[in-house]
Chains A and B, each alone.
Chain A
């Protein structure tokens, strides 16, 4: 319905929410024995998503494994939680700007 930049923004927001969901899972399972932190490779998944493919969930490599076989790092997850929220805020602000341009075009000089 709108231009390609808006479509990319939409996919970007989709990917950020997928990642945020994985962060929420990791935080919920911080004390689950044997649980391994999950994430997506953000850069390469954005390319894939632009080609309409589903993102692939992978285990995060090189995290320190605790005695119970769990490797969730709460510091890493907190950082990602904040980062994703900011990325989403930026994308939604840009998208809102796009929409307001369309709105202005519809309303002419009345606004």
Chain B
């Protein structure tokens, strides 16, 4: 059964990288957002990953039957919000300007988010390659029967 649990591990990696990509895209979309439900400008978000034991209902039944080696997947354990002070820009005509004419903008560096996004995308690809390799191995085991 160990080959099938590798698929779950890689799938957890894909899910984690996908959530990271979602947040990075959100950051870039909100690079100029000065209003949020919590008040103040938008703040940059990023994820913290944590390793996690992968189980499925099917495998838990099987594990009681078979000694299973540990399978370490990954999960998003936390979303951290950037606590740096917002960037002040002098725009007296802006509706969100303070009494001195400064507007608080999110402290977002597009280069930082783009680099992280490329990293995320490559890691996603690595997980897909792992799934493809494992899938081929399973297919070969099935071919033994024909």
Measured between beta carbons, the chain B residues less than 8 angstroms from A21 are: 2-3, 5-6, 9, 69, 71
A35 to B77, CA, bound (A): 14
Task: Flag the segment in B29-37, B83-91, B103-111, B122-130 that touches A.
Answer: B122-130
Check A32–B49 contact: CB distance below 8 A: yes
A13 to B144, CA, bound (A): 12
Binary interface profile of B, 34-72, with partner A (CB < 8 Å = 1, else 0)? 000000000000001111000000000000000101111
Within 8 A of B (CB), among A1-47: 13-14, 16-18, 20-21, 23-25, 27-33, 35, 38
Check B141–A54 contact: CB distance below 8 A: no
A28 to B51, CA, bound (A): 9
Give chain A's interface secondary structure class.
helix
Check A28–B16 contact: CB distance below 8 A: yes
A-B contact count (CB 8 A): 108
Q: Smallest Cβ distance from A94 to chain B, in angstroms?
A: 11
Measured between beta carbons, the chain B residues less than 8 angstroms from A92 are: 140-141, 143-144
- Given contacts A20-B3, A21-B71, are A28 and B143 in contact (CB under 8 A)? no
Check A57–B141 contact: CB distance below 8 A: no
A77 to B9, CA, bound (A): 14
Q: Smallest Cβ distance from A43 to chain B, in angstroms?
A: 18
Measured between beta carbons, the chain A residues less than 8 angstroms from B79 are: none
Check B12–A85 contact: CB distance below 8 A: no
Measured between beta carbons, the chain A residues less than 8 angstroms from B98 are: none
Cβ of B74 under 8 Å from chain A = yes
Q: Please list 19 pairs of residues, one from A and one from B, whose beta carbons are closer than 8 Å in the complex, sorted by A's number.
A: A17-B3, A17-B137, A20-B6, A21-B2, A24-B6, A25-B9, A28-B10, A28-B12, A29-B51, A31-B49, A31-B123, A32-B51, A57-B69, A74-B126, A78-B129, A81-B133, A84-B133, A88-B137, A96-B143
Chain A contacts to B: CB under 8 angstroms: 13-14, 16-18, 20-21, 23-25, 27-33, 35, 38, 54-55, 57, 74, 77-78, 81-82, 84-85, 88-89, 92, 95-96, 99
Q: A16-B137, A28-B74, A31-B119 are in contact. List 7 more A-B contacts (CB 8 A).
A: A20-B133, A24-B13, A25-B73, A32-B49, A32-B74, A54-B67, A96-B144
Chain B contacts to A: CB under 8 angstroms: 2-3, 5-7, 9-10, 12-13, 16-17, 20, 48-51, 67, 69-74, 119, 123, 126-127, 129-130, 133-134, 136-137, 140-141, 143-144
